[in-house]
Chains A and B, each alone.
Chain A
Amino acid sequence: MYGGGNVFEATKFDDLEQEDPVKLAEFEARIARGEKIEPSDWMPQLYRKQLIRMIEQHAHSEIIGALPEGTWITRAPGFRRKLAQMAKVQDEVGHAQLLYSAAETLGKTREQMLTDLINGKSKYSNVFNYPAFTWADSNIISWLIDAGAIVNQMANAKGSYGPYCRALDRICAEEAFHLKYGHDAVVHMATGSPIQRKMIQEALNRWWPPIMTFFGPSDKMSMHTETLMRWKVKMASNDACRQQFLDMYVPKIWELGLTVPDPKLRKNEEGVWEYTEPDWDEFKRVINGDGPCNAERLAVRRTAEERGAWVRRALLAPKATYVRPLA
């Protein structure tokens, strides 16, 4: 799952002026023709940097995203849910693995990326800084956050960088199952006992504000954004993604008799969804580290890395330590 593609921090744009204009023109022509860029092909530095940043953020979002739902694996009610929850979260970890490999083709190692994650240098999807208080929260994540991720990933799968597109094709196929699973779980809750219905409505109330920020604030149409769109790094505007998501899922939420906690939410005569503007100040605060779970998420990741360091050291150790049996 993912939704952090919006976090394109400004890179020094004058980098572009250093590029060979002939190669740059050729590169842009290839992308315009719909060709994919492969790891050994020439590419502008800015393209490489932005892609690393984007794929890395996506990968981080997958492993950090595994945590809120992961805490419900051991508590999932009944065999069917327990098995599905395990498989679903496992898939997310698998996505991280695929994406780190895709990012590695651009020259940054998994180890470096994980170090940057732990140090708070790289970002991940902001929604995972919110807690999954109950089983119902986990269901809402499985359904609606994955739904958002699919909107995002389907768009990105048409991008220009070959390895990322191929990873996304595989990921999207699995996400389709997550969506089905999440929807099925929410349906059972929303049509279940009074306690279940109450749980799922409360979870939706908690998760709606983060969901509305999932695609990021409206894009400022800068030269920077335009270039990234021309290079097919950024494939759709944040608002377009949000509209598509609302269009696909709000009716499904209503169908279940659930209430979306936004009195202003409606589709206007032009077919555009109107809503209460999300609290972007909070979004900024949380993404910069001050959310309910930022510290916990990174601490978990850091602990996992530290506790597992001896395994990685041992597996990387040259076979030479294999001198002779001790006994």
Chain B
Amino acid sequence: MLENAIKDLLYKIADDQLILGHRNSEWTGFGPMLEEDIAFSSMAQDKLGHSLAFYTLLHQMGEGDPDTVAFMRNADQFHNSQLVELPIGEYDFSLIRHFLYDNAEILRFESLSQSTNEEIAKIATKLKGEVRYHVLHANTLVKQLGSATQESISRLQQSLEYALPFALGIFEPSKHEQELIDAGIYSGEAALQNQWLERISAVLEKTHLKLPEIANLQPVYGGRYGQHTEHLQPLLDEMAEVFKIDPTAEW
């Protein structure tokens, strides 16, 4: 059933964006510089807006309304990659995650903008401009901090090594992979991952950072099938704390 395959794809995109947007918003008031508070907040708002666009499309396809879907599900009903649910940690981790994630996201949106599904193509085309800014922000800072001081280089290197296996989880294949590729919905996870590796390598080459040998890494899979770290449920509980006081109320 192509429709189920498409829904699965849309859920993973929307859930990624919602959870990462939520995480990025946690930097408001805590950034290393006011400029970064503001940048992370802008990206958080964009990501939230993107998730809303995809939840809205899902709603048109018969799924629940966006607020209910976002605020009322439990962790095992979420299809986001585990990368995005990890706590913000120190700024180096948040920056590296943002770098790894957005470089993947831009490729996904580019691929989706060519989709045979017109609705999806329309949304992806509209939103990819914003993702391009996110990529620009990440790449600029990774280049700067990845070549600045010993301290900044070693922090970024450590975070890179920690985050990479999780980042590979972005590309965890779904059980509908071939069906989506055959129908021309998007190019599929394996193709995206290859392009992504080229992109991030090209940036990292301009720094003092070293990309670990990907073949030696064990990707952290499971997120796309509802398996999550212990960090997701508390995030969702927090997100829904007020909403659940009265889910039928207008807030």
Residues of A within 8 A of B (CB): 63, 66-67, 70, 72-79, 81-83, 86-87, 89-90, 93-94, 96-97, 100, 135, 185, 188-189, 192-193, 195-196, 300, 303-304, 307-315, 317, 321-322, 325-327
Contacts and interface: CB of A to CB of B under 8 A. Distances in A.
Given A89-B28, A192-B249, A311 B91 contact: yes
A78 B244 CA distance: 10
Given A77-B251, A315-B148, A326-B208, A67 B48 contact: no
Contacts of B208: 325-327
Nearest to A310: B151
Nearest to A303: B30
Among B29, B71, B241, B246, the most chain A Cβ lie within 10 Å of the Cβ of B29
Contacts of A135: 242, 251
Contact of B251 (A63, A188, A307): A188
B28 A90 contact: yes
Interface stretch (B38-46, B75-83, B98-106): B38-46
A321 B207 CA distance: 12
Contacts of B135: none
B239 interface: yes
Interface string B223-246: 000000000000100111111011
28 contacts: A63-B29, A66-B37, A70-B29, A74-B239, A77-B240, A78-B243, A79-B48, A86-B41, A90-B41, A93-B28, A97-B35, A100-B34, A185-B251, A193-B248, A195-B246, A304-B29, A307-B32, A310-B151, A310-B155, A311-B145, A313-B152, A314-B144, A314-B148, A315-B145, A317-B148, A325-B208, A326-B210, A327-B208
Interface of B: 22, 25-26, 28-38, 41-42, 44-45, 48-49, 52, 66-67, 70-71, 90-91, 144-145, 147-149, 151-152, 155, 208, 210, 235, 238-243, 245-246, 248-251
A303 B37 CA distance: 14
A259 B144 CA distance: 55
Contact of B32 (A73, A93, A304, A322): A304
A73 B28 contact: yes
Given A86-B28, A90-B45, A311-B32, A78 B251 contact: yes
Contacts of B25: 73-74, 86
Contacts, number: 148
B153 to A, nearest CB: 8
Contacts of A76: 242
Given A89-B41, A93-B34, A304-B30, 7 more contacts: A63-B34, A73-B28, A93-B29, A193-B249, A311-B33, A314-B148, A314-B151
Nearest to A93: B37
Nearest to A114: B34
A325 B210 CA distance: 10
B158 to A, nearest CB: 13
B118 to A, nearest CB: 24
